[in-house]
Structure 1
Amino acid sequence: MKKQFIAVEGPIGVGKSSLAHKLSQTFNYYEEKEIVNENPFLSDFYEDISKWSFQTEMFFLCNRYKQFQDLASISTGIVSDYHIYKNKIFANNTLTPTEFSKFSRIYDILTEDLEMPNIIIFLDADLEVLKKRIALRNRSFEHQIEDDYLLNLKRDYNAYYSSLEADGERVIHIDTTDLDFMKQENDYNYILNLVKPLIGGNEHE
């Protein structure tokens, strides 16, 4: 039987890493963590997106490609706090049409033989909630994120979810605006009850 490979996705600050960590502990799955702080272009990117977007997106793509490639050796279930497809979502918002066309061709070549997540959890939240969560984690390079950028990401993630749902993929959309699954057990159990049917309800005892 093919191993379960869960990806948690959504806009910046929505709680992807926190939920992925909790799910990995609940189901005893391998936890795959996104590389963010190691990107040497990120601070410059948020200061001047048009100037640094291609370098930033290519760094992320190459690193995430290598991370997904390495996951082939993992025999247990996997929970990742990102899906490599997010590269196209972000790149579509930052690159020129010419750059995005080149980026997309490289993406298609790199990902054509990768094992992809077979369950995707999309998290979302209202703009003001996202901004508060971003402020709380206090990453210096995120202080300059503009509202329009977050709103565009929310729009594109919702469009991606809708396309996968229409194709019959195993996807869940969860609005976390009024949820605190890190502190409130009932909120986390609510999410678990949505996820378990997709993976057969197996839980690490």
Structure 2
Amino acid sequence: MSSQNQIVLSLGSNVGNRLEAIKSCIGIIHYEIATVVKVSSVYETPAWGFESEPFYNCAVLIHTSKSAQKILSQILKVEKQLGRTRSSEKGYQARIIDIDIISCNEDVVDSENLEIPHQQMHNRKFVLLPMHDLGMNWMHPKFKKSIPELLQICEDESDCKVVEKLVSPIEKLNLQNFNYIAIEGNIGAGKTTLATKISEDCNAKLVLERFADNPFLPKFYKDQNRYAFPLEMSFLADRYQQLTDDLAQFDLFKDFIVADYHIFKSLIFAKVTLHEDEFRLYKTMFDIIRKEMPKPDLYVYLYQNTERLLANIKKRGRSYEQEIPADYLEKINRGYLDYIKTQTDLNVLVIDISDLDFIKKQSDYVYLLNEINAKIK
């Protein structure tokens, strides 16, 4: 199940350069508001409910952690940005851009300024046809009917013809050109969040480290000297087992694999936490295991300064992490960077995200996607 809301927007324009207005609208939404995952064809359709020039209409599927109410307030600003001035007069009017929220997951919302699903969607071919293009497995929560079923019973006989095929910003990326992307980072850097979001937005199989199940982890933070070696050995065994299983199991319905760690991190953490004699023994085991592990096609390291890491750790509130000292995080960062310098045969991308917030700022997330995409090219 997606951790993000899946929202369908209907875009329309019948003033000026209609196609350019829709393309500009999609670009603004993707860069400033939410990730535009899919875009329908553009249809030319007659004005509905009033006499005017024909409309160009399309539908877009966005992924976002924001609520539908928040999205509504933001798309109204986009309309204004593109030159639409809403009138207080009753009835429909010609407009350079119109953005409506059609659905949010399969939720029902009935508030003063927002009704979801859109109250007229089932009566409008210019909404149903583009939404059908999105290929969603969506069911109307009130009528209990799919989009194909709604189209079959729709009484709208308007002539809706395709005038342009569009590609979403996500579909323009080349992330699927590689089979396996590993996203790494220090404790609290945001690697799991980024890997999860990329997997949902880009149709990738997600592999997440099972750190929460390790019984030695809380003990290690209380007594590092005593529990460092069993912790690192258990992590190594678990990472090997999980990556071996997950990387071997090909998913026909996913385009590639994205993981929030790789086996290399085991050596980096062990070098920081273990005594010299323990580390020599550990490295012997690691070298044997590493030979059997496939290398990622792209290794992304998210660098964050120690101040930001500590703030992120405090914010997410895991009790056993709250006493992690700053110098430990600094050693881990140095360990990663020193390791990366030695990997001449590994395709590495280091991104400093100390001044970025890809969770709250859509533009920062788009920046990361573009950086990864450029590296793949």
Q: With structure 2 as the length reference, what TM-score do the two structures score?
A: 0.51
Structure 1 residue 31 and structure 2 residue 206: aligned?
yes
Residue identity in the other structure for 1:21: T
Amino acid paired to 1:119: L
Structure 2 counterpart of 1:72, from 223, 226, 248: 248
Q: Does 1:4 align with 2:179?
A: yes
Q: Percent identity?
A: 39
Q: Which amino acid aligns with 1:157?
A: Y
Is the 2:349–2:375 Cα contact (8 Å) retained in structure 1? Answer: no
Shift of 1:117: 1.2
Q: Aligned partner of 1:72: which letter?
A: A
Write the deviation string for residues 81-114 of structure 1: whole angstroms up to 9, x where unpaired: 0111100000001111111111111111122122
SS at match of 2:235: helix
- Secondary structure of the residue aligned to 2:295 is coil
Structure 2 unaligned regions, length at least 5: 1-175
CA contact under 8 A between 2:180 and 2:257: conserved in structure 1? yes
Question: For residues 27 and 116 of structure 1, what CA distance do their matches in structure 2 show?
Answer: 21
Whole-angstrom CA distance in 2 between matches of 1:57 and 1:99: 10
How far residue 196 of structure 1 moved from its aligned partner, in angstroms, is 1.0
Equivalent of 2:346 in 169, 178, 192: 169
SS at match of 1:37: helix
Residue deviations 1:97-144, cap 9 Å, x none? 111111111111122122221201101111111000000111111011
Which one-letter code corresponds to 2:277 in the other structure? T
1:118 pairs with one of 277, 285, 297: 297
Shift of 1:168: 5.1
Contact 2:204/2:256 (8 A) holds in 1: yes
Q: Please say if residues 207 and 259 of structure 2, whose CA atoms lie closer than 8 Å, have aligned partners that are also in contact.
A: yes
Greater share of strand residues, 1 or 2? 2
Contact 1:72/1:115 (<8 A) preserved: no
- Hey, what does 2:282 align to over in structure 1? 103
Tell me the amino acid that sits aligned with residue 184 of structure 1.
Answer: K
Alignment partner of 2:272 out of 93, 108, 117: 93
Paired residue total: 198
The residue type equivalent to 1:156 in the other structure is G
> What residue is the counterpart of 1:57 in the other structure?
232
Distance, in Å, in 1 between the alignment partners of 2:181 and 2:196 is 12
Residue 107 of structure 1 aligns to a residue whose secondary structure is helix
Does 2:223 correspond to 1:44?
no
Distance in 2, Cα, partners of 1:160 & 1:120:
12
1:198 aligns with 2:375: yes
Cα RMSD for the two superposed structures: 1.6
Mapped partners of 1:88, 1:162: distance in 2: 15
**For residue 183 of structure 2, what is the amino acid of its counterpart?**
V
User: Aligned residue for 1:203?
Assistant: none
8 Å CA contact retained: 1:68, 1:115: no
Q: 1:126 to 1:46 in 2, by over 3 A?
A: same
Deviation at 1:157, TM superposition (A): 1.1
How far off its partner does 1:2 sit?
A: 8.6
Unaligned runs of 5+ in 1: 201-205
> In the alignment, residue 171 of structure 1 is paired with which amino acid?
V
Q: For 1:59 and 1:139, locate their aligned partners in 2 and report how far apart those are by CA, in whole Å.
A: 20
Mapped partners of 1:198, 1:174: distance in 2: 11
Larger fraction in helix:
1
Q: C-alpha separation between the residues in 1 aligned to 2:180 and 2:241?
A: 16
**TM superposition shift of 1:77:** 1.1
- Structure 1 SS opposite 2:213: coil
Name the counterpart of 1:140.
319
Please, what TM-score do these two structures have when normalized by structure 1?
Answer: 0.91
Structure 1 residues 3 and 73 mapped into 2: Cα distance closer, same or farther (>3 Å)? farther
Structure 2: distance between partners of 1:25 and 1:150: 29
Displacement of 1:199: 3.6
What's the secondary structure of 1:79's corresponding residue? strand
Paired letter, 2:338: A
Is it true that 1:157 corresponds to 2:332 in the alignment?
Answer: no
